[in-house]
Amino acid sequence: MTINQCAAGTSVRRSHSLVTVTGVAGIGYALSWIAGLAIPAPNPALGASGTAILGAYAGHQASAAVNFALTEGLPAIGIAVVTLALARATGGPLGRVLRAAGLTATAISVAEFVLGLIVTRTRDAGAAHLLWASIDRIDGVKMLAFAVLGVAAYLATATSYRAAVLPRWLRYCAAALAVTMTVSGLVYLMLAQALVIAAGPALLFLLVVITGAGIVLGSRAR
């Protein structure tokens, strides 16, 4: 076997590995969230008092920890893998925007996981209130990062000089993600519990975009 053939074989193996990681990350992101939502864990209201938070988590620390792991900890991996793959496929300025938005959301998701574990174990009402308000507000920032990601993904697919990065249906989902995440992010930043229902559509479009992009990018690369 020649050196060129060895290099080609190595390139193919790396490509297949990337395909596997990207596709599994996209599917795993959705499955992790679904499993997390299925766990009956406490979910205090936005801006809840420290006393209410302590009461909600009393006796439910284990289920709350698993919930935070499945909705914030593990999904951070999927966010990073899929958005970095999407950024590479897009390239140029939009690719850099996608990378920055994805890594920002990843870092915040990890921070929420850590803060979530801390708040479930605190015994001080004042600290619990501060931690929970911090989680809610940085969640709002994460949502705005997802909104930026949605805009960049839509523009990359609509204007890219290359072949379309994402299919048309995912492009429209990315646009819907941008709109719904902007609304939801503002709701969380303002701790507006009365409008928290806005997070439902935003999460739905997020699951579709991350999972769909992971599967599409993996299949296309193969």
Reported pTM: 0.87
Nearest to 145 by CA among 103, 105, 205: 105
187 phi and psi, to 5 degrees?
A: -60, -45
- The confidence score (pLDDT) of residue 164 equals 65
Which amino acid, residue 145?
A
Question: In this structure, are residues 169 and 93 in contact, taking their beta carbons and an 8 Å threshold?
Answer: no
pLDDT of res. 25: 95
Give the pLDDT score at 20: 77
Q: What is the pLDDT of residue 120?
A: 93
- Residue 166 pLDDT: 85
Q: How far apart are CA 37 and CA 23, in angstroms?
A: 22
DSSP the chain: --HHHHHHHHHHHHHHHHHHHHHHHHHHHHHHHHHHHHS----PPTT--HHHHHHHHTT-HHHHHHHHIIIIIHHHHHHHHHHHHHHHHH-HHHHHHHHHHHHHHHHHHHHHHHHHHHHHH---HHHHHHHHHHHHHHHHHHHHHHHHHHHHHHHHHHH-SSS-SS-HHHHHHHHHHHHHHHHHHHHHHTT-GGGGGGHHHHHHHHHHHHHHHHHHHHHHH-
Give the pLDDT confidence score for residue 54 in this predicted structure.
Answer: 95
The pLDDT, as a whole number, for residue 222 is 56
| Residue 63: φ, ψ to 5° | -65, -35
Q: Cα–Cα distance between 141 and 71 in angstroms, integer? A: 16
- Residue 129 is which amino acid? H
Give the pLDDT confidence score for residue 162 in this predicted structure: 52
Cα separations (Å) of 119 from 49, 76, 111, 190? 13, 19, 12, 20
**With 0-12 CB in 10 A as exposed, 13-18 as middle and 19+ as buried, what is 26?**
buried
Q: For residues 181 and 45, give the distance between their C-alpha atoms in angstroms, rounded to a whole number.
A: 19
Q: Please write the tens of the pLDDT for every residue from 146-196.
A: 999 999 999 887 654 455 678 889 999 999 999 999 999 999 999 999 999
pLDDT by 10s per residue, the chain, length 222: 444 444 444 444 444 444 578 999 999 999 999 999 999 999 999 999 999 999 999 999 999 999 999 999 999 999 999 999 999 999 889 999 999 999 999 999 999 999 999 999 999 999 999 999 999 999 999 999 999 999 999 988 765 445 567 888 999 999 999 999 999 999 999 999 999 999 999 999 999 999 999 999 887 655
